[in-house]
Amino acid sequence: MEYNLSSCNVETDKLYGLNNCCSLLSALSLVDCDFNMLSVESLSLLDGDGLREVDSLDSKSSILDLSVMKGLFSGSNPLDGVLLSAFDSNYGLVSLLPNFSLELRRARNRKARKRYVKRKIGDVSIFSTGFNIFSQLPILSFPFNINICGVHNLTGRSINISIQKFLSLGENFIFNGNNVNEMVVRSDMADFHRRLRLKYQFLHSDTSMPMFYVPNPTYEPCKASKDLEYYINLTMERLNDELTLSTSRNSLHSSFQICFKSLRLSLDDIIILRADKGLGLVVVLRSDYSTWMLDHLWNDQVYRGVASLPVIAEKYVELETILVTAGLMLDSDIAKYILQDNTGKVNWGHLYFLVKIHKKDISPPPLRPICSQLRTVSYYASKYVSKILAPLVKEHVHTYFDDSLHIIEYLTVTEFHQPVVLCAADISNLYPSIDITDVLLKLELFLRSFRSLDLDLIMTLVQFILYNNYFEIDGLFFRQVSGVAMGTPCAVMISVIYVHMLETATSLAIDPQSKPLYLVRYIDDFFGIFLTVADAQNFFLCFNTQNTNIKVPIEELQLSYCDYNCGVNFLDFTVQQVLGDPKHQHHVKSGFIRSELNRIFLRCSLLHDCISQFELFYNTLVSRGYPTSFLDVLFQKHIVYSSPVDYEGKRLYYISCRLISKYNRQVTLRPLVYKKRYGSVLPFKRILSTDCIRWAPSFLPVFHERDPVVVTYGQKRLGSAVLNKRPKLF
């Protein structure tokens, strides 16, 4: 591509994307112009593919006259009339407008130049109006380096690079907070002192916190012990000493303000959504999103349109009738917990979608519907059911796990004496595919064996939750007639139990020799270890026959075996067999060997048994192709025991460390938390220091040998400002 510069043709790559000031001045010397016009430290120019910022301009260097700037975009160039933008070191973005350079040149000092720009540009500057996000100008200067990632553009049009960087910050990026005054800081400290006294009161009381309770913010606990009261008074004195400092926060950077305003201008045409599985943000045209959304909602088997929503008061009466029929008094803890929002602001659910951007082969990408049930009639009833079912699932659903470390630990300590087949599978559209009648029957069948439960109350509440999933989206009202609403608190536990019943039926139907050696599941994602590929396929084929709606696509199974040892992706990690393949990375092979040596050391109580197992493992690895020079280094680090007594002592020490680590993971002591308003800059770690009472009797049970943890609330985040709505920060 070439541009016409005063009858001189200059190739684009010689003019744009230059690395230093000398190259820039050499290229511009082809044009007869005066360079002593406007001093800046960086210049943004436009080439055919987009903007490239030319940095490293010397402070004494100058750039083109405005007439030459306009000459770059004259003639047949389609970019004629686009504002060119430059960056001044003291002011930020400067819009170069007609008749601007002469007056600006007269403002000799930087402060005068800054005042002139504010006065002269006014409302036409992109400082106050923003710019079209699909235009290539300008490139903004952010206060720190930002890499473009996690922004998925489905509009079919090129988005400004500055907007892409802005969205790459992520939905949890915090901008600025409100000015924090003294009253807010003192209120936060009073709340911390109240929670400290509450913790001391329940630690030294015969009554424990009930499982279901309604918080009472007006309750005032009794005074704590003398040492804790001394600590409370001391923190107040420290706070009074520090309140003379400023507690305000700096304003939002000008580049962020421009991006916010630009997005606000464009939200009539675009919409910003979350990507599924936390893969960032998705930018789509509003017209395309409306089409995808309506195509999803007009599925009569899952959703039914309704003319109007039910009266909320009538549904609360129905819920009270359920509780009274179950023999509960309306003033009991459970009834108060379920009905605690009946006098507040209650709405029906709100449906929104996540874009499954990871399924790149499907166009348009599928949507994952999420129906938010927060502040709805059935919300606390659903939380009650979830709290009842969670311990039952954890104890009696053996394929269920809540942490991927469970799989890693199993694979680390388990030895397979022959090559196996790793398999990962996924149920297609589990939540909307569950039949409500079928899930009620299977849930009741699962709960019948637990006689301590109030089965009638739980089943009636679940039925109330599933049949009252009303929601609103863009002024349209719907009711979900099939499946479990993804967004209600009990959805996960109900789905886990439902799939568990299908798994149990599958295990009874298949040949015992074809059962998986190991099978775990996280909601609708399976991971299994089978002897053969046929066993894995037959298991899921049998699983698909248990219900007409719940299917695992056989063609999408991930399989990994000796001849095709590619590994399988499951949740947030990849599982692969280590067979001595030289293509494996060094740390993978060495980590596998170290883990197995530690397991042998843990299992063998006698020294000669440990050595014999080491020798057997060593010979097995050599037969698989591991070089002896690589193995000798790893094995010599473990065989350091001079005598059986020395071996036994080191083994007991290793076991005790493992048990202590396991106990610490299971028994999590919640620390005291100080909640501060975002924007406060006081040194709270020094104010809340517990050095003064570290040897007091109440320190260990209340503080757990550590200072209070300082957390922040009241932040303004990017996601709340731009996701699926118009920004409201300005």
Q: What angle do CA 178, 183, 187 make, to 5 degrees?
A: 100
pLDDT higher than 50, residue 448: yes
pLDDT band (50, 70, 90) for residue 383: very high
364 cis-preceded (ω within 30 degrees of 0): yes
pLDDT for the residue numbered 52: 34
pLDDT higher than 50, residue 407: yes
Name the residue with higher pLDDT: 50 or 420: 420
pLDDT for the residue numbered 69: 36
pLDDT for the residue numbered 29: 34
Residues above pLDDT 70, as percent of the chain: 72
pLDDT for the residue numbered 438: 92
* 105-139 pLDDT tens trace: 445 555 555 554 444 443 345 556 667 788 777 77
pLDDT for the residue numbered 25: 33
pLDDT for the residue numbered 418: 76
Q: Which of 10-19, 72-81, 226-235 has the highest mean pLDDT?
A: 226-235
pLDDT for the residue numbered 652: 79
Q: What angle do CA 63, 65, 69 make, to 5 degrees?
A: 90
In DSSP terms, 723 is beta-bridged to: 272
Query: Which residue from 14, 134, 110, 171 is spatially nearest to 727, judged by alpha carbons?
Result: 171
pLDDT higher than 50, residue 95: no
pLDDT for the residue numbered 585: 62
Q: Are the C-beta atoms of 94 and 85 separated by less than 8 Å?
A: yes
pLDDT for the residue numbered 54: 34
pLDDT for the residue numbered 37: 35
The least confident of 88-92, 519-523, 557-561 is: 88-92
pLDDT for the residue numbered 49: 34
pLDDT band (50, 70, 90) for residue 490: very high
* 453-463 pLDDT tens trace: 888 999 999 99
Task: Give residue 672's region: left, alpha or beta (phi > 0; psi -120 to 50).
Answer: beta
* 580-618 pLDDT tens trace: 444 556 666 787 788 888 878 877 878 888 888 888 888
C-alpha dist (Å) from residue 561 to 113, 222, 576: 70, 65, 9
Alpha helices for 448-490 (secondary structure H): 455-467
Q: Which two tokens stand for residue 61?
A: 């260097």
pLDDT for the residue numbered 47: 34
Q: At what angle do helices 586-603 and 607-623 cross, to 10 degrees?
A: 150
pLDDT higher than 50, residue 23: no
In DSSP terms, 93 is beta-bridged to: 87
pLDDT for the residue numbered 524: 87
pLDDT for the residue numbered 600: 82
Q: What are phi and psi of 119, to 5 degrees?
A: -75, -40
The chain-wide mean pLDDT, for the chain, equals 75
- Amino acid 44 reads S
pLDDT higher than 70, residue 98: no
The least confident of 98-102, 511-515, 631-635 is: 98-102
* 238-256 pLDDT tens trace: 998 888 765 455 566 778 8
pLDDT higher than 90, residue 158: no
List CB contacts of 335: < 8 A, sequence separation 6 or more.
Answer: 320, 323, 328, 329
* 199-249 pLDDT tens trace: 888 877 766 667 777 878 888 888 888 889 999 999 999 998 888 765 455
C-alpha dist (Å) from residue 160 to 47, 365, 730: 14, 23, 21
pLDDT higher than 60, residue 89: no
| Distance separating alpha carbons of residues 25 and 5, to the nearest angstrom | 14
pLDDT higher than 70, residue 708: yes
pLDDT band (50, 70, 90) for residue 437: very high
| Distance separating alpha carbons of residues 335 and 381, to the nearest angstrom | 9
pLDDT for the residue numbered 440: 94
pLDDT higher than 90, residue 19: no
| Distance separating alpha carbons of residues 17 and 19, to the nearest angstrom | 6
DSSP category for residue 395: H
pLDDT for the residue numbered 246: 57
DSSP category for residue 158: P
Name the residue with higher pLDDT: 5 or 207: 207
Name the residue with higher pLDDT: 13 or 235: 235
Q: Are the C-beta atoms of 411 and 599 separated by less than 8 Å?
A: no
In DSSP terms, 275 is beta-bridged to: 355
Residues above pLDDT 90, as percent of the chain: 14
pLDDT for the residue numbered 491: 92
* 325-341 pLDDT tens trace: 988 888 888 898 998 87
Q: Which two tokens stand for residue 619?
A: 């010979």
Name the residue with higher pLDDT: 475 or 251: 475
pLDDT for the residue numbered 392: 92
pLDDT band (50, 70, 90) for residue 641: low
Name the residue with higher pLDDT: 43 or 442: 442
* 659-685 pLDDT tens trace: 776 666 555 567 788 988 887 778 888
C-alpha dist (Å) from residue 392 to 335, 365, 518: 22, 37, 21
